[in-house]
Structure 1
């Protein structure tokens, strides 16, 4: 039986067409299930994120949504939010309440997506036990180590104001926590304003005296932020992160010793007693952010502007807020 070329070509065309359909369907399937990546920026003092990173629970939770995680450590909150603003990370682990104010002043469009309730005793101004500085007013003309834009920066301003001094009455030494500790230990500065776990560590390892903590001066909330674009595009990811943060905070408070034993090696081999004491000063209570509760953020912004540390006034409520 003779088969014409045209007749013979029909099955071949059908086979090619079927192959193309299969290839297109396969390509679509691969595209639809392509894994995403969440880039998380954090600091050494970002307790809950550090815990989730160590335990792998956040990877497991986001793995259900085909999302991988990369981790990026920063020395302090300000460079962390700068990285967030330019798109180098997707979300920021907790930063002190002052840091978003500086980001707003730099015209960053950031979104709050969670907060830790106040922990005013988790930061303090310390001097050496043999220092002649006995009260806040004695800081006039003295060199004080502080991390720029950290929560302790605002605590220092508030404490000076309470003593009838201005920020211009001292000599600020803007140092990272590690460099601040070294300067304090080696008598290069007269006082150091720091936060947990650096605070409990220095109090236990060196003879110090505390001039004041934040009680009555600075409530010290810590905020979790993301870019506005990421919040709009990935609300499901933020919901997973929020849930995991709440669970981690609850676990630390209900298992303080276990948490201390886990976190100690991650915090430069701190002993468990020091870590447990440091964590006792933090609330670790993760909550939604509410616009009508940003009053202290405005106080912080106004204090920094009055001290000449912000280029222009900041409206603390001019932010985007994601809620679970």
Structure 2
């Protein structure tokens, strides 16, 4: 049911129909026997993903909060919290590295006594999101402590489906300049994402769902390659990311604009490195990205209000302004 609803939504069928399918399934399972609570939680995670993909962030976050309240196990609560934090970060909302999956519920993840157990993969996922929040808040030392170094990540890769946390660690390494280790993290995520059964084994939602993580890792890997001067490989991976974004969201979704901005920046670096005419290519890509992102005109009234994807818009806008002078 989940795959049918989300798959249909991805191929442009009305999201209202997909949502009705999921809601009806959850209603039928309410008060059911053994396993019903897990099934309902799975459907609620899927609903939040559908809402997120439809651009209804606030509704998606409310659904994730509701999932935390009714979820029967730590695995579901961590998945809901992880997605909630991911959407908040994407929306540039305040996040704190001290936030926990659910302060009112015992997750059996004790900070003072952690041993390798069935819950370790959940703590790894929690710490990865806390680490990313710390990084966004400029708390570098806290982020480093939360990620725990490469050994913990290597132990977790392929164990209990932690690819999203490994991707988050790769982002941290990328931002802090450890390109070799970031490369290894992205490669491990992409290898795991190539397995056909990943989406059926990982409890996740929103921008932490397997398809999203695969898209993010592909785009980030392409960016890393461009930073390393490997422009042919970078172009290959960024083209793949663009195709993934268009297939998953349609050609006019902001995430397509985000990837277009990354492609344009790759051509900018290539032109600077090789003294080539790639600079002309990047101008057109930046303009297309701004169009897809629905960026308000400079100095318009709209620039005074909160605008989604404003960081990406700013990144795409500067080169095009420079080209006009």
Q: What TM-score does the superposition give when structure 2 sets the normalisation length?
A: 0.23
Q: What TM-score does the superposition give when structure 1 sets the normalisation length?
A: 0.23
More relative contact order, 1 or 2 (CA 8 Å, 6+ apart): 1
Larger relative helix fraction: 2
